[in-house]
């Protein structure tokens, strides 16, 4: 067993060896650095795109959680609108520490018309301030203004305005089905026009103040869904469980966004499986790249190893020096990869890459804004740095193998 003083000497020798041949150290560390940057870039892009998809779903449609009538998710009709009563309010107040804000909505499908032109639309009754907090609705205004609580005008999508030839001050006629078979019919002035990145939203959405929409659907004090946005994403499952336990399960049901969008969750799981395959391919390629560098460097060191062994250095101690060198150079390469990779990822995080042509169209069809986003989550940098570090360590065992297999006669002749 090595004494501490001997171990300290070996560490010193390993460290000095790195800087005795700076070119060799730079080349080996560079191979580790570029492998780290490549791994970070891949996983940053993958996680950024996943976060973008989840945020798009959460902010534009479901929210983190929804409280609904127990039958609404299976049969989404106005007859199963939620009674926003004291029981629900008390439960929300009890767990207010975990809730960032709530967004009440009532919506239904109607026929919209102007003159002889008609089309199907989705009428959404919202509280503009809370809706704006969730999805920055007011930032999408291109004409007019958003309604205040006492206003009674409609704000429509750009596509609806174009298809029905509507402009500010015009009247839109809405006809649909209200609560318990009541006829929902009304005429509303156009007070604003919104432009969304997704055609489905542009071509279908008509917004009304919440109380006006409740009156239109003959459903006072009722909501089709009550959206809950939590302060942290990881609180969602726990909060859903607490609220479900608090509310009467004969009348209410609390659903997470994963339960509301099972097809999206299945798509994410399939994508994660594909990413795992690509990640392993990347690690293999990175490992061979580092291995090629190590082999090249070893040809320079065969004579050096032979001399050290011939003057009495034990193979075990020489192998420890090689292991320490590998640890040092791998650590330097990984740190350099993080140091160079972070500013690149941060810039891409702030400036997502626009996606055009067919790929952009596919993303739009999926309901996602057509840009390639990147993530700067610390987990990405830590996990990829650790993975590449251990790959480099495994590859770095090759010099140890060569030390024990070295033929002193052949090395002395070189």
Q: With respect to residue 64, please indicate whether it lies within any of the assigned structural domains.
A: no
pTM above 0.75, yes or no: no
Last residue of a domain, one of 215, 248, 281: 248
> For residue range 323-376, what is the model confidence (pLDDT) as tens digits?
787 888 888 889 999 999 999 999 988 888 877 766 666 666 655 667 788 888
Residue 24 and residue 84 in one domain: no
Number of domains the chain contains: 2
> For residue range 22-47, what is the model confidence (pLDDT) as tens digits?
887 788 788 888 888 888 988 888 88
Question: Both tokens of residue 48?
Answer: 């950024």
Range of the domain at 87: 71-248
Do 214 and 106 contact (CB within 8 A), yes or no? yes
Higher pLDDT, 1 or 141: 141
Residue 17 and residue 82 in one domain: no
pLDDT category, 412, cuts 50, 70, 90? very low
Last residue of a domain, one of 199, 216, 248: 248
Question: Both tokens of residue 148?
Answer: 């205040």
Q: Note the Cα 196 to chain centre separation in Å.
A: 21
Do 252 and 88 contact (CB within 8 A), yes or no? yes
Predicted pLDDT of residue 411: 46
Mean pLDDT score, 147-170: 90
Residue 270 and residue 220 in one domain: no
Higher pLDDT, 278 or 162: 162
pLDDT at 294 over 80: no
Which helix (H) or strand (E) element contains residue 222?
strand 222-223
pLDDT at 6 over 70: no
pLDDT category, 413, cuts 50, 70, 90? very low
pLDDT category, 319, cuts 50, 70, 90? confident
> For residue range 392-409, what is the model confidence (pLDDT) as tens digits?
888 877 777 777 776 655
Q: With respect to residue 102, please indicate whether it lies within any of the assigned structural domains.
A: yes
Higher pLDDT, 156 or 260: 156
Q: With respect to residue 124, please indicate whether it lies within any of the assigned structural domains.
A: yes
Residue 374 and residue 352 in one domain: yes
Q: For residue 201, give Cα distances in angstroms to 87, 242, 315, 363.
A: 33, 33, 71, 14
Predicted pLDDT of residue 342: 92
Expressed in percent and rounded to 5, the helix, strand and coil fractions of the chain are 60, 20, 20
Higher pLDDT, 8 or 108: 108
Q: With respect to residue 131, please indicate whether it lies within any of the assigned structural domains.
A: yes
Question: Both tokens of residue 250?
Answer: 């004969």
Look at 207-216, 257-266, 342-351 and tell me which has the smallest mean pLDDT: 257-266
Q: With respect to residue 63, please indicate whether it lies within any of the assigned structural domains.
A: no
Residue 155 and residue 301 in one domain: no
Phi/psi of residue 158, nearest 5 degrees: -60, -40
């Amino acid at each position: 067993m090595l004494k501490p003083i001997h171990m300290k000497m070996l560490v010193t020798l390993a460290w000095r060896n790195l800087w005795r041949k700076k070119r060799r150290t730079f080349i080996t560390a560079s191979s580790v650095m570029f492998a780290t940057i490549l791994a970070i870039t891949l996983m940053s892009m993958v996680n950024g795109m996943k976060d973008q998809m989840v945020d798009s779903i959460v902010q534009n449609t479901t929210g983190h959680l929804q409280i609904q009538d127990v039958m609404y998710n299976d049969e989404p009709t106005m007859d199963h609108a939620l009674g926003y009563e004291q029981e629900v309010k008390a439960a929300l107040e009890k767990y207010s520490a975990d809730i960032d804000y709530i967004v009440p909505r009532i919506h239904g499908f109607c026929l919209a018309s102007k003159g002889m032109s008609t089309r199907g639309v989705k009428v959404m009754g919202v509280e503009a301030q809370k809706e704006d907090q969730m999805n920055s609705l007011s930032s999408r205004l291109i004409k007019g203004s958003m309604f205040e609580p006492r206003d009674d005008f409609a704000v429509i999508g750009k596509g609806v305005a174009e298809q029905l030839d509507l402009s500010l001050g015009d009247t839109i006629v809405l006809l649909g089905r209200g609560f318990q078979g009541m006829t929902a019919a009304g005429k509303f002035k156009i007070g604003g026009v919104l432009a969304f990145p997704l055609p489905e939203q542009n071509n279908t959405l008509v917004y009304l103040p919440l109380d006006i929409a409740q009156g239109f659907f003959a459903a006072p004090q009722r909501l089709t869904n009550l959206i809950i946005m939590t302060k942290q994403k990881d609180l969602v499952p726990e909060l859903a469980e607490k609220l479900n336990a608090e509310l009467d399960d004969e009348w209410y049901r609390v659903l997470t966004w994963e339960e509301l969008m099972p097809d999206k969750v299945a798509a994410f799981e399939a994508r994660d499986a594909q990413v795992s395959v690509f990640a392993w391919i990347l690690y293999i390629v990175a490992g061979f790249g580092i291995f090629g560098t190590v082999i090249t460097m070893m040809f320079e060191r065969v004579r050096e190893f032979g001399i050290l062994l011939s003057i009495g250095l034990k193979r075990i101690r020489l192998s420890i020096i090689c292991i320490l060198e590998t640890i040092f150079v791998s650590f330097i390469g990984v740190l350099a990869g993080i140091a160079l990779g972070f500013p690149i990822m941060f810039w891409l995080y702030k400036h997502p890459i626009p996606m055009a042509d067919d790929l952009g169209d596919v993303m739009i069809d999926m309901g996602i804004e057509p840009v390639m986003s990147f993530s700067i989550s610390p987990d990405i940098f830590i996990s990829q740095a650790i993975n590449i570090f251990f790959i480099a360590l495994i590859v770095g065992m090759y010099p140890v193998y060569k030390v024990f297999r070295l033929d002193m006669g052949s090395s002395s002749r070189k």
